[in-house]
Amino acid sequence: MIRVVVIGAGNVAQHLILAFQKTKEVQLIQVLARNKMELSCLLDSNLITSDFNQLKEADLYIIAVSDNAIHDVSSQILFDNKLVVHTSGSTDMSVIHSKNRKGVFYPLQTFSKTKSLDFSRIPIALESENTSDYKLLEKVAKAISNEVYQINSEQRKALHVAAVFVCNFTNHLYQIGETICEENKLPFELLKPLILETADKIQTLSPNEAQTGPAKRNDTTTINAHLNFLKDENQINIYKTLTKSIIDNGKKL
Amino acid sequence: MIRVVVIGAGNVAQHLILAFQKTKEVQLIQVLARNKMELSCLLDSNLITSDFNQLKEADLYIIAVSDNAIHDVSSQILFDNKLVVHTSGSTDMSVIHSKNRKGVFYPLQTFSKTKSLDFSRIPIALESENTSDYKLLEKVAKAISNEVYQINSEQRKALHVAAVFVCNFTNHLYQIGETICEENKLPFELLKPLILETADKIQTLSPNEAQTGPAKRNDTTTINAHLNFLKDENQINIYKTLTKSIIDNGKKL
């Protein structure tokens, strides 16, 4: 059994805690969180501490806190030469305090506390300083996911930027869709099948093959009608910027 | 049995043809298409014509052609005072030639020839000049879909703009994600679970609740790191425009 400590109480920490509780290969021996109450419904309160001096000795410490707190948290780990990893897409492995062996355990998914997830289908991007640590991380990752990848810090930064485009920015486009519906007394429900199908399409077609719409067709009549319809400055700028990019992309193909 | 003629051979026409063939309430009596070959694998060649002079008398003519051809096609229908509808999201009902009764039959979905769809879950937005025509359109729509809505031309324009944001623009963000992956020797497969979950999330959470990422947190360190990473001018402009919109939206809440 690999003994794991999770540090953090946010979305990623909570989903990891739930995932580890379902495995036989990994024993979650402790969770360290500033606010113990946040986790009280997830696991036995004996397993939770808010005191770094109470930290147990483990094979792996997973720091799942905000990016700018990773270094500070890693320096507070009492033990030396232990394997300590963070879960951040955009943070270099080197921010972890050098008294310990460093690694990264980055689950590539959008986590919300109120929505459960099948962790087995979440890709986990791993990185470590040496091969034996990588093998341990791989065992832990494979205990909860079928999609485990070795990815270096430079690639992980690229992956995180790509994730911002396909997840955070996409969700904001959904939000604009909802706003336009509300302003025109249309139920947002109308757009939900379209949103699901758009995401489902690129599971089998490439995004280039799946592209449709007025920009793809260079249909300036419709594009101008849409720009006349829009009143919000941010919506207009997003419409123009994305339309230009789709048209430019079409010229490249 | 309501007798229907479909005019067109594109993505929307083909999916409508497939859907009508499965119903008992609607009889697809003819399809008119310039290129009969395109439809030869979908239905009996006796049902296909490319000659307007061969057009059969029907209860409903559905024009599923490109937006700028709708008026011309509607003027070539031999019969007068028949119910003639188009399937366009961005086109006013009035473009249909005035010798016939006008309507709109707009299925809100992204159609690709190579990907099959469950039509029963596709919202259909209907509009007509009078109540009896609306009832006929409603019967036809309900024969193939469980999601039928009465929506006027102004609302339909809004819906089409919203659809461009949540479908066409979203797909282009997927395409950028794929490009960033390719340039960094990462498999696009890595992003697919994230893309599906992002779309799935807003089926139960509002897009505002579901929003995550550096712009939402106003995390300028990560935002600047991402902007330094990006080299393509369109990608940089899209990143900046969407980030500004997410930050401005956060201020409003």
How many CB atoms within 10 Å of residue B101?
Answer: 19
Q: Provide ipTM, 2 decimals.
A: 0.90
Question: What are the per-10-residue average pLDDT scores of chain A (253 residues)?
Answer: 96 93 95 87 91 96 95 96 96 95 94 80 95 98 96 94 97 98 96 96 94 92 95 98 96 81
pLDDT of residue A36: 81
Cβ contact B160:B89 at 8 Å: yes
Position B38 pLDDT exceeds 90: no
**In the structure encoding, which two tokens stand for residue B189, read together?**
């497969």
| Interchain CB distance below 8 Å, B173 and A169 | yes
| Interchain CB distance below 8 Å, B111 and A149 | no
Which amino acid, A47?
A: L
Q: How far apart are CA A50 and CA A37, in angstroms?
A: 10
| Interchain CB distance below 8 Å, A235 and B216 | no
Q: What band does B87 get if pLDDT is binned at 50, 70 and 90?
A: very high
A194 vs B163, B176, B211: nearest CB:
B163
Averaged over B22-40, what is the pLDDT? 91
- CA quadruple B32, B108, B201, B173: dihedral, nearest 10: 80
Tell me the three state secondary structure of residue B90.
coil
The full DSSP string for chain A is -EEEEEE--SHHHHHHHHHHHT-SSEEEEEEE-S-GGGGTTTS-GGGEES-GGGPPP-SEEEE-S-GGGHHHHHHT-S-SS-EEEE--SSS-GGGS-TTSEEEEEEE-S---TTS---GGGS-EEEEESSHHHHHHHHHHHHHH-S-EEE--HHHHHHHHHHHIIIIIIHHHHHHHHHHHHHHTT--GGGGHHHHHHHHHHTTTS-HHHH--STTTTT-HHHHHHHHHH---HHHHHHHHHHHHHHHHHHHH-
pLDDT of residue B159: 96
Cβ-based contacts of B192 with chain A (< 8 Å): 202-203
Cβ-based contacts of B200 with chain A (< 8 Å): 196, 199
> Which of B119, B181, B245 to probe the A interface (max A CBs under 10 A)?
B245
pLDDT of residue A38: 81
B199 vs A164, A195, A229: nearest CB:
A195
pLDDT of residue A110: 83
pLDDT of residue A116: 80
A108 vs B117, B194, B206: nearest CB:
B194
Choice among A176-180, B116-120, B146-150, B157-161 with the minimum mean pLDDT: B116-120
What are the structural domains, with CATH classification, of chain B?
2-151 (3.40.50.720), 156-252 (1.10.1040.20)
**In the structure encoding, which two tokens stand for residue B223, read together?**
């935002």
Position B30 pLDDT exceeds 80: yes
**Phi/psi of residue B145, each to 5°?**
-140, 150
How far is A167 from chain B, CA to nearest CA, in Å? 6
Using one digit for the tens of pLDDT, what is the confidence trace for B153-209?
Answer: 899 999 999 999 999 999 999 999 999 999 999 999 999 999 999 999 999 999 999
pLDDT of residue A233: 98
How far is A216 from chain B, CA to nearest CA, in Å? 9
Position B33 pLDDT exceeds 90: yes
pLDDT of residue A113: 72
pLDDT of residue B156: 94
Position B44 pLDDT exceeds 80: yes
| Interchain CB distance below 8 Å, A234 and B213 | no
Q: How far apart are CA A80 and CA A135, in angstroms?
A: 20
Cβ-based contacts of A223 with chain B (< 8 Å): none
Q: What percent of chain B has a predicted confidence (pLDDT) above 70?
A: 100
| Interchain CB distance below 8 Å, B168 and A211 | yes
pLDDT of residue A93: 95
| Interchain CB distance below 8 Å, B245 and A235 | yes
Using one digit for the tens of pLDDT, what is the confidence trace for A2-20?
Answer: 999 999 999 899 999 999 9
| Interchain CB distance below 8 Å, B221 and A68 | yes
Say if residue A107 is exposed, middle or buried (CB neighbours under 10 Å; 0-12, 13-18, 19+). buried
Averaged over B4-18, what is the pLDDT? 94
> Which of B186, B242, B244, B247 to probe the A interface (max A CBs under 10 A)?
B242
Position B114 pLDDT exceeds 90: no
> Which of A145, A168, A240 to probe the B interface (max B CBs under 10 A)?
A168
> Which of A118, A152, A159, A170 to probe the B interface (max B CBs under 10 A)?
A170
